């Protein structure tokens, strides 16, 4: 959905909300039999705002009111004032110029018809958030508004139906916007609300509907009828199946043959063992995400994959068999991204030699995740890595910590692993440090490395990282052991490189290793870093953190820092927060302080006063989820449940 900015306004809080309500009431009243509904109320409300800074929209609405009442001199004056308060190339300027020209020519004008689509969307977005019931009423009484709004395709790219809004009134909009609807997001609706929504959906001719996302809703028997109604155009479907639902994956695939994106999540029921699905033609699925914690039979998964030759992205989480690798290799030649997550491996079948022979074919996988399973063994992984040697760029290999008995087999990892990896996420114990060090050395193009619950106590891993000349991101999360001195060597090398350094993002979370002070102090001296994350780093002392903040402030004038995250650290005190006030950070730098029990609200408020506005998110409470933050950061975040903003790279976690 294309976002359209609202008119600029210096009013804040309740005054801004009041202004928008007045503008919407005024604008939506125009064009209905050339009458003004409750015109005196609108004029009185506008007069209340005389003390505020007028915007072009206020002058325009005031001029329209005067013109409709025959007060041409007052209307002319209002339009002239409006022109002075807006930019010459803006939509507001063009609109007011047209109105002024018509007033001067003494022509009677239909102000709704001459509005540009941008302004129609702008006015409508105001009132839609304020009062959807009033919106439905206005569209009912004004055929002209209904006609204009139906022409604004940008406005109808996506509409959301949520339980906190009156669903009955909101659903009545569907027949009005059916011609331009492309996606619908439904969340948190009761069974009765789902019935109401389904009723209005079935009454609508949704000719362009391509995306449907349903989360946290109580399905009923009418849902199958709804899928039938939209199946001819539906290409994207995202479902969160409730425990009470009886609909099955078989029915969904049969009802929606044109699906290209399917996100199916069922946390209660297993995928039926008797799953047999034979469509009339191969499925058009390109992205499939299956999340079934109740269990997935191999036969069920096999049927789906065998009938999906165009599949490019596959994510399977839950109790499934890693046997799907066999099917992917033989039946999905276009596969590019593959996640096998929390898989219950069927080791009996994979011990057979004929399964490994299938892997001799080249598989064009670019992204691969294997892990979160206690049964992951080398013969599950090595053949797949060998066949993806020419294409694999992003590898996540999470080896269980009880894999010590396969040490010799895992040593072959460096020989079969790809040579062009740019991103590596790994988990390993002390026995596999040599194997993963060899894997890192074999991929000199690595830009991003993430160590998760890994043993980093040896110099082999550190030396392998030091040899990387293109590394941009280093993340260490909950290490089993850590070579603190070696990590300080990595950061020291980047400091000596100066402007030629490549490392830009460092994340350190839940680190209990002693001797962490040197590494943290070094982070404060790295001017080229863009992101620093320090969370639950109990291995450092108060002196270490003080020196970190001191050096961070010292280099702030030349620093490239864009985000500083300090979370859940007891050693951070008010004195360190006061140091940040002396820094000369970029206005684009965001400081994120959460769960710091030893800092006070006063210290944070002083930092807020000195830091650029809207760039600080701080909570001085240890239980920050129970207390609102002092100030929220005003950055844009993507909602992955929304079709208009969802990242097409599916995330299985």
Structural domain spans, the chain: 13-153, 157-234
- pLDDT: is 370 or 143 the higher one? 370
Residue 644, Cβ neighbours under 10 Å: how many? 15
**What length is written for the chain?**
653
Is residue 516 very low, low, confident or very high in pLDDT (cuts 50, 70, 90)? very high
Label residue 603 by pLDDT band (50, 70, 90).
confident
Mean pLDDT calculated for residue range 400-409:
76
pLDDT of 431 > 70? The answer is yes
Average pLDDT over residues 8-27: 43
Report the Cα 542 to chain-centroid distance in Å.
35
User: What is the pTM assigned to this prediction?
Assistant: 0.59
pLDDT at 187: 73
Give the per-residue pLDDT at 160: 52
Q: How far is CA 648 from CA 83, 332, 448, in A?
A: 44, 19, 21
The pLDDT assigned to 379 comes to 74
pLDDT exceeds cutoff 90 at 465: yes
Q: How confident is the model at residue 599 (pLDDT cuts 50, 70, 90)?
A: confident
Look at residue 623 in the predicted model and tell me its pLDDT.
Answer: 36
**pLDDT digit string (tens) for 140-157?**
445 555 555 555 544 444
- Tell me the two tokens of residue 313: 């992205």
- The 3-state DSSP class for residue 650 equals coil
d(CA 314, CA 335): 8
Mean residue pLDDT across the chain:
71
Torsion angle (degrees, nearest 10) of CA 35, 40, 45, 46: 70
Higher per-residue confidence, 365 vs 367: 367
Q: In this prediction, what percent of the chain has a pLDDT beyond 70?
A: 60
- DSSP bridge partners of 101: none
Average pLDDT over residues 447-468: 94
**What pLDDT, on the 0 to 100 scale, is given for residue 33?**
39
Q: Is the pLDDT of residue 542 over 50?
A: yes
> According to the model, what pLDDT value does residue 147 have?
57
Kindly report which listed range (1-5, 332-336, 458-462, 631-635) carries the lowest average pLDDT score.
1-5
User: Counting Cβ atoms within 10 Å, is residue 1 exposed (0-12), middle (13-18) or buried (19+)?
Assistant: middle
Please determine, for residue 455, whether its predicted confidence score (pLDDT) is greater than 90.
Answer: yes
Give the per-residue pLDDT at 260: 92
Of the given ranges (297-306, 363-372, 409-418), which has the lowest mean pLDDT? 363-372
pLDDT tens digits, 481-507: 999 999 999 999 999 988 888 999 999
pLDDT band of 267, cuts 50, 70, 90: low
Q: How far is the C-alpha of 245 from the C-alpha of 219, rounded, in Å? A: 6
442 with 467: CB under 8 angstroms? no
Cα torsion angle, 486, 377, 417, 320, sign:
negative
Instruction: Kindly state the tokens that stand for 472.
Output: 């941009």
Predicted confidence band of residue 342 (pLDDT cuts 50, 70, 90): very low
pLDDT reported for residue 257:
86
Burial label for 587, CB within 10 Å (0-12, 13-18, 19+), is: exposed
The predicted model gives 396-415 an average pLDDT of 79
Closest CA to 401 of 326, 484, 481, 496: 481
pLDDT at 47 over 70: no
- Residue 147 DSSP SS3: helix
Q: How many whole angstroms separate alpha carbon 121 and alpha carbon 1?
A: 12
Given a cut of 60, whether residue 266 has pLDDT beyond it is: yes
Say if residue 559's pLDDT is above 60: yes
pLDDT of residue 320: 55
pLDDT in the model for residue 510: 93
Q: Which residue has the higher pLDDT, 409 or 21?
A: 409
Q: Mean pLDDT over residues 89-106, rounded?
A: 75
13-153: which CATH architecture? Alpha Horseshoe (1.25)
Q: E strands, 429-469, where? A: 448-452, 455-456
Range in 148-152, 213-217, 324-328, 568-572 with the lowest mean pLDDT:
148-152
- The whole-number average pLDDT for the span 286-304 is 72
Q: Give tens-digit pLDDT for 145-196.
A: 555 555 554 444 445 554 434 455 555 555 555 555 577 777 777 777 777 7
Give the three-class secondary structure for 425.
Answer: strand
Across 327-333, average pLDDT: 68
Distances (CA, A) of 538 to 140, 486, 602: 63, 18, 25
Alpha-carbon distance 429 to 177, whole Å? 57
Among candidate residues 274, 213, 259, 217, the one with its CA nearest the CA of residue 238: 213
Vertex 70 angle, CA 68 and 74, to 5°: 95
């Amino acid at each position: 959905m294309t976002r359209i900015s609202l008119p600029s306004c210096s009013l804040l809080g309740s005054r801004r909300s009041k202004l928008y309500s007045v503008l919407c009431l005024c604008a939506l009243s125009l064009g209905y039999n050339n009458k003004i509904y409750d015109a005196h109320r609108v004029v009185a409300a506008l007069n209340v705002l005389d003390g505020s800074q007028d915007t072009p929209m206020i002058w325009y609405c005031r001029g329209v009111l005067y013109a409709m009442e025959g007060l041409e001199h007052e209307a002319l004056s209002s339009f002239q004032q409006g022109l002075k308060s807006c930019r010459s190339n803006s939509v507001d300027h063009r609109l007011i110029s047209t109105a002024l020209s018509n007033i001067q020519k003494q022509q009677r004008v239909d102000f709704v018809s001459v509005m540009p689509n941008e302004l129609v969307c702008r006015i409508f977005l105001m009132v839609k958030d304020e009062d959807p019931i009033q919106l439905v009423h206005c569209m009912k009484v004004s055929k002209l508004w209904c006609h204009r709004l139906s022409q604004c395709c940008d406005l109808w790219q996506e509409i959301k139906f949520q339980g906190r809004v009156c669903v009955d009134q909101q659903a009545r909009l569907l027949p009005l916007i059916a011609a331009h609807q492309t996606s619908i997001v439904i969340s948190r609706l009761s069974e009765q609300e789902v019935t109401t929504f389904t009723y209005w959906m079935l009454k609508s001719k949704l000719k362009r509907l391509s995306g449907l996302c349903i989360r946290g809703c109580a399905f009923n028997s009418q849902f199958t009828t709804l899928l039938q109604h939209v199946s001819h155009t539906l290409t994207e479907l995202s479902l969160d199946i409730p425990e009470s639902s009886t609909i099955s994956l078989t029915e969904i695939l049969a009802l929606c043959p044109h699906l290209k994106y399917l996100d199916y999540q069922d946390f209660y029921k297993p995928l039926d063992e008797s799953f047999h699905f034979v469509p009339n033609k191969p499925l058009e699925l390109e992205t499939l995400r299956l999340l079934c914690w109740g269990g997935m039979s191999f036969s069920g998964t096999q049927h789906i994959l065998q009938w999906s030759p165009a599949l490019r992205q596959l994510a399977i989480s839950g109790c499934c068999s890693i046997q799907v690798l066999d099917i992917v290799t033989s039946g999905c030649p276009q596969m590019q991204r593959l996640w096998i997550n929390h898989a219950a491996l069927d080791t009996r079948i994979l011990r057979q030699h004929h399964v490994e022979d299938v892997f001799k074919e080249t598989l064009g996988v670019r992204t691969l995740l294997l892990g979160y399973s206690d049964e992951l063994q080398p013969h599950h992984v090595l053949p797949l890595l060998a066949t993806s040697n020419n294409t694999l760029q992003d590898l996540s290999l999470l080896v269980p910590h009880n894999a010590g008995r396969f040490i010799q087999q895992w040593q072959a990892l460096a020989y079969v692993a790809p040579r062009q990896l740019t991103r590596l996420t790994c988990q390993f114990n002390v026995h596999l440090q040599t194997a993963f060090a060899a894997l890192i050395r074999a991929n000199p193009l690595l830009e991003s490395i993430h160590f998760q619950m890994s043993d980093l106590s040896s110099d082999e891993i550190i030396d392998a990282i030091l040899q990387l000349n293109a590394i941009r991101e280093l993340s260490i999360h909950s290490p089993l052991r850590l070579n603190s001195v070696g990590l300080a060597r990595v950061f020291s090398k980047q400091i000596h490189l100066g402007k030629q350094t490549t490392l830009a993002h460092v994340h350190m979370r839940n680190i209990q290793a002693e001797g962490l002070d040197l590494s943290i102090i070094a982070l404060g001296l790295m001017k080229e870093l863009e992101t620093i994350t320090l969370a639950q780093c109990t291995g450092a002392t108060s002196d270490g953190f003080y020196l970190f903040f001191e050096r961070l402030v010292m280099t702030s004038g030349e620093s490239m820092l864009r985000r500083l995250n300090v979370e859940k650290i007891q050693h951070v005190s008010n004195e360190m927060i006061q140091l940040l006030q002396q820094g000369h950070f970029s206005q684009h730098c965001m400081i994120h302080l959460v769960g710091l029990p030893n800092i006070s609200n006063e210290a944070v408020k002083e930092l807020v006063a000195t830091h650029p506005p809207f760039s600080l998110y701080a909570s001085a409470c240890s239980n920050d989820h129970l207390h609102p933050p002092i100030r929220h950061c005003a950055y844009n975040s993507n909602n992955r449940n929304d079709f208009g903003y969802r990242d097409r790279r599916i995330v299985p976690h």
